[in-house]
């Protein structure tokens, strides 16, 4: 039973799946925030500052999340064949990530550190579609976004707090990085503990022997297909410009100055980290409520417009006001993107196929996550940052145009279309 279905007399006295899921997701959010800082900050910092690692090892660490997302169709396919419940499978994948980080903490070697970090990040990222299936199973449709955004609020706060405290503790003391890796390992283990206590059902069984069978939903479901096209355009635009924010602020050739002087590292961190994340934190609950109440495609267009405005404002303003405004708008839009990216397939997929739909979405996210940085720095050799900002904003506007016809179609969509099963061979 899920909470999207009415409870019967026989259900009273049993824990409500909605309440049980929300309880353990709030607890897991604290650990998830800590884990988020690993991929976002500390693993590469340790590789660069402590190990003085080469480009190859740093690239392995950096591609961990994207590699895990690319693996999601295969992971979901295997889990559906095994008949494992979504929460148990997610718990095992998270536990494996904890084991990898334990190995990285126990063996002070740069190659062990890099490959254990890579495998840990791949393992936990490959569980993402399983989380979405859990939300589909246990959170009622009318408050799914609200509950998710409350959990996300805790996660963002946890990440910001831990990043500050861990950064302060390790400043000048990176030789103690193994203690930090042990903390990450404990966070993974606690996350696995919480996931084991969340109710869920087994994934729908795939009748095809093709591990990429979920890709057929792109062919059979037009709404899903158009949404993925828009996601690809917006995702590429954002991922292309994201690493260039540091380049723009930190490279003196772009002439970004404060009181006639180049920006300090601290002020760059404020513009790229603190301001966007404060805005993201404050606006997350509002986006969650809007997700529950507003036509999804209209909401997605609003988020897209915010990203386009943020890029233009940040990269073309060439003033302190423009930089701060761009950082705030990016944070607000990113808060909406958190909710939309994680939950949108629950709006278009058949309930029993949410994990399979999500695996297609995460697979494509992983592909663009690997491709975008290469595209970004290649484009930077031929275009100015202003031209790149305008070009990526145009991609986002194009994504909005793709979605406009879907607003009316989605409003009249009574149910996702039936999908065709692939033959066994």
- Mean pLDDT along residues 211-216: 82
Tell me the domain boundaries of the chain.
Answer: 15-202, 214-411
The yes-or-no verdict on residue 1 having pLDDT over 50 is no
For residue 3, the model assigns a pLDDT of 42
For residue 295, the model assigns a pLDDT of 93
Q: Which of 77, 104, 102, 79 is nearest to 90 (CA)?
A: 79
Q: Which of 24, 47, 218, 241 is nearest to 139 (CA)?
A: 24
- Mean pLDDT along residues 204-219: 78
Q: Decide if 121 contacts 67 (C-beta within 8 A).
A: yes
What is the average pLDDT value for the chain, to the nearest integer? Answer: 87
The yes-or-no verdict on residue 84 having pLDDT over 70 is yes
For residue 420, the model assigns a pLDDT of 54
User: What pTM value is reported for the model?
Assistant: 0.86
Confidence of residue 211 (pLDDT cuts 50, 70, 90): confident
Query: What is the fold of 214-411?
Result: Growth Hormone; Chain: A; (1.20.1250)
DSSP state string for 356-415? HHHHHHHHHHHHHHHHHHHHHHHHHTTS-HHHHHHHHHHHHHHHHHHHHHHHHHHHT--S
For residue 253, the model assigns a pLDDT of 80
Question: Do 214-411 and 15-202 have the same topology in CATH?
Answer: yes
Q: Looking at the DSSP assignment, which residues form a beta bridge with residue 85?
A: 202
In angstroms, rounded to a whole number, what is the distance separating the alpha carbons of residues 62 and 84? 30
Confidence of residue 424 (pLDDT cuts 50, 70, 90): very low
- Mean pLDDT along residues 62-82: 91
CA 411, chain centre distance (Å)? 27
DSSP structural state of residue 294: S
- Mean pLDDT along residues 44-72: 86
Q: Which of 366, 375, 373, 307 is nearest to 340 (CA)?
A: 307
The yes-or-no verdict on residue 99 having pLDDT over 50 is yes
CATH of 15-202, one of 3.30.470.10, 3.40.50.720, 3.60.15.10, 1.20.1250.20: 1.20.1250.20
The yes-or-no verdict on residue 11 having pLDDT over 60 is no
Counting residues of the chain whose pLDDT is more than 70, the rounded percentage is: 92
The yes-or-no verdict on residue 300 having pLDDT over 80 is yes
The yes-or-no verdict on residue 134 having pLDDT over 90 is yes
The yes-or-no verdict on residue 289 having pLDDT over 50 is yes
pLDDT tens figures, 316-332: 867 888 999 999 999 99
pLDDT tens figures, 169-207: 887 788 899 999 999 999 999 999 999 999 998 988 766
For residue 272, the model assigns a pLDDT of 82
The yes-or-no verdict on residue 280 having pLDDT over 80 is yes
The yes-or-no verdict on residue 8 having pLDDT over 60 is no
In angstroms, rounded to a whole number, what is the distance separating the alpha carbons of residues 205 and 208? 9
Would you state the structure tokens that stand for residue 257, as one six-digit string? 């100055």
- Mean pLDDT along residues 14-29: 92
Q: Decide if 231 contacts 361 (C-beta within 8 A).
A: yes
Task: Assign 16 to helix, strand or coil.
Answer: coil
- Mean pLDDT along residues 245-250: 80
The yes-or-no verdict on residue 9 having pLDDT over 60 is no
Q: Which of 269, 197, 210 is nearest to 40 (CA)?
A: 269
The yes-or-no verdict on residue 422 having pLDDT over 80 is no
For residue 315, the model assigns a pLDDT of 87
For residue 250, the model assigns a pLDDT of 78
The yes-or-no verdict on residue 5 having pLDDT over 70 is no
For residue 416, the model assigns a pLDDT of 57
- Mean pLDDT along residues 138-142: 93
Q: Which of 289, 331, 152, 303 is nearest to 227 (CA)?
A: 303
- Mean pLDDT along residues 164-170: 85
Residues in the chain: 425
DSSP state string for 297-364? HHHHHHHHHHHHHHHHHHHH--SHHHHHHHHHHHHHHHHHHHHHHHHTHHHHS-GGGHHHHHHHHHHH
């Amino acid at each position: 039973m899920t909470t999207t279905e009415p409870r019967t007399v026989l259900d009273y006295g049993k824990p409500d799946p909605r309440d049980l899921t929300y309880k353990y997701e709030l607890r897991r959010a604290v650990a998830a925030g800590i884990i988020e800082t690993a991929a976002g900050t500390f693993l590469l910092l340790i590789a660069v500052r402590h190990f003085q690692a080469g480009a190859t090892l740093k690239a392995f660490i950096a591609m961990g999340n994207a590699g895990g997302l690319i693996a999601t169709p295969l992971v979901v396919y295997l889990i559906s064949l095994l008949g494992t419940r979504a929460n148990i499978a997610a718990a095992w994948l998270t536990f494996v990530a904890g084991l990898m980080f334990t190995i990285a903490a126990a063996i002070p070697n740069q190659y062990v550190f890099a490959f254990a970090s890579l495998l840990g990040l791949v393992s936990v990222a490959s569980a993402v579609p399983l989380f979405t299936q859990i939300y589909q199973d246990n959170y009622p449709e009318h408050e799914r976004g609200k509950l998710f955004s409350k959990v996300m609020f805790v996660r963002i706060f946890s990440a910001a707090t831990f990043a500050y405290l861990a950064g302060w503790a390790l400043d000048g003391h990176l030789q103690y990085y193994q203690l930090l890796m042990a903390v990450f390992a404990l966070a993974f283990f606690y996350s696995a503990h919480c996931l084991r206590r969340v109710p869920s059902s087994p994934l729908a069984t795939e009748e095809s022997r093709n591990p990429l069978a979920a890709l057929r939903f792109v062919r059979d479901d037009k709404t899903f297909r158009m949404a993925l096209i828009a996601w690809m355009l917006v995702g590429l635009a954002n991922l292309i410009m994201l690493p260039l924010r540091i380049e723009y602020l930190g490279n003196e050739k772009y002439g970004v100055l404060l009181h006639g002087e180049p920006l300090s590292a601290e002020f760059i961190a404020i513009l790229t980290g603190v301001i966007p994340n404060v805005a993201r934190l404050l606006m997350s609950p509002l986006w969650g409520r809007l997700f529950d109440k507003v036509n999804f495609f209209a909401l997605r267009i609003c988020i897209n417009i915010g990203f386009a405005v943020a890029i233009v404002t940040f990269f073309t303003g060439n003033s302190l006001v423009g930089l701060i405004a761009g950082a705030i708008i990016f944070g607000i839009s990113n808060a909406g993107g958190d909710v939309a990216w994680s939950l949108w397939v629950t709006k278009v997929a058949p309930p029993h196929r949410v994990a399979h739909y999500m695996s297609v979405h995460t697979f494509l996210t992983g592909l663009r996550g690997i491709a975008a940085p290469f595209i970004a720095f290649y484009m930077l050799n031929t275009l100015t940052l202003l031209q790149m900002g305008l070009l990526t904003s145009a991609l986002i506007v194009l994504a909005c145009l793709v979605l406009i016809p879907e607003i009316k179609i989605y409003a009249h969509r009574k149910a996702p279309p039936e999908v065709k099963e692939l033959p066994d061979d």
